[in-house]
Amino acid sequence: MNNELTRAYIIDLYNNPLNYGKLKDFDFSKKGENPLCGDSITIYIKIKKDKIENISFEAQGCIISNVSASILTKEVKGMTLKDFKENFKFESVKEKLLLDLSFSREKCARLSFDILVSLLKDNII
């Protein structure tokens, strides 16, 4: 957590996560875990007309995995499935995270993205 401003931003996002909690109306959900540290995240998603109409998450784990899930859900909400599949990469989350992630911490940041990709692969794309 590289400087004071970034730290404040990250901790604020950790304490006030975006799109947090189970959706009342969702089509699919998927839980994923990082066995190394015990982080677990569940993603809920509502699809309408090939678009991610709504998305949320629940998480137990470290700051990095929580904050990454907030950023991910904010970025992909409203996105077409085609756009997500063709253009959205983990790097899109990483650059918004503003952190130099070490090898071990990158796994925390990737967790929600990997769950979303796997959820869509299992069910839709």
Partner 1 sequence: MYKYKKDFPIFKNTKFYNKDLIYLDNSATTQKPQIVIDEYAKFYENFNANIYRGIYRLSEEATSMYEGARTSIAKFINAKSNEIVFTRNTTESLNLVVLSFAKSILKKNDLVVLSVVEHHSNIVPWLILQKEIGFRIEYIDINKESFELENIDKYLELKPKIVSITQVSNVTGVENNIKEIIRKAHLKGAFVIIDAAQSVPHKKIDVKDLDCDFLAFSAHKMLGPVGIGILFGKEDLLERMNPVLGGGEMILSVDQDSCTFKEAPFKFEAGTVNFADAIVFKKSIEYLDGIGMDNIEKYIKELSGYTYENLSKVNGLKIYGQKNNSGIYSFSLKAVHSHDIASFLDEDNIAIRAGHHCAQVLMNRFSVYALSRVSIYIYNTKQDIDNLCISLSKISDLF
Residues of the shown chain interacting with partner 1 in the complex, contacts defined by CB under 8 A: 1-2, 7, 11, 36-39, 61-64, 102, 104-105, 108
Residue type, 1: M
50 CB contacts (<8 Å, ≥6 apart)? 80, 81, 82
* Between 47 and 61, CB nearer to partner 1: 61
CB 46, min distance to partner 1, A: 29
Tokens (6 digits) for 4: 């004071």
* Between 16 and 104, CB nearer to partner 1: 104
CB 3, min distance to partner 1, A: 10
In 16-78 the beta strands, taken as DSSP E runs, fall at 28-34, 39-48, 51-60
* Between 37 and 47, CB nearer to partner 1: 37
d(CA 64, CA 23): 22
CB 88, min distance to partner 1, A: 26
d(CA 108, CA 87): 22
* Between 43 and 62, CB nearer to partner 1: 62
